[in-house]
Amino acid sequence: MGRFAHQTSAMPMPMPMPMPMPMPMPMPMPKSKSKSKSKSKFRYR
């Protein structure tokens, strides 16, 4: 059971880690610029 828990943790860990990390990182970065412009337009309005 201990080994199964480790294998399950190793699987959901490398998947949600490399996925939410490279996605939310490169996405929030370029999106931040887009959001900044959107906020600027909203403020200008």
Query: Chain-wide mean pLDDT for the chain?
Result: 55
Average pLDDT over residues 10-32: 54
Residues 1 and 25: their CA atoms lie apart, in Å, by 35
- When pLDDT is cut at 50, 70 and 90, the band that residue 7 belongs to is low
Q: What is the pTM of this model?
A: 0.14
Secondary-structure percent of the chain, ordered helix, strand, coil, rounded to 5: 60, 0, 40
Q: In this structure, what token pair is assigned to residue 9?
A: 């943790």
Distance CA 3, CA 10 (A): 10
Q: What domain range is 13 assigned to?
A: 2-44
Res 3: pLDDT: 59
Count how many domains the chain has: 1
Strand segments, DSSP code E, in the chain are none
Q: What pLDDT score does 37 carry?
A: 57
The arithmetic mean of pLDDT across residues 35-43, rounded, is 56
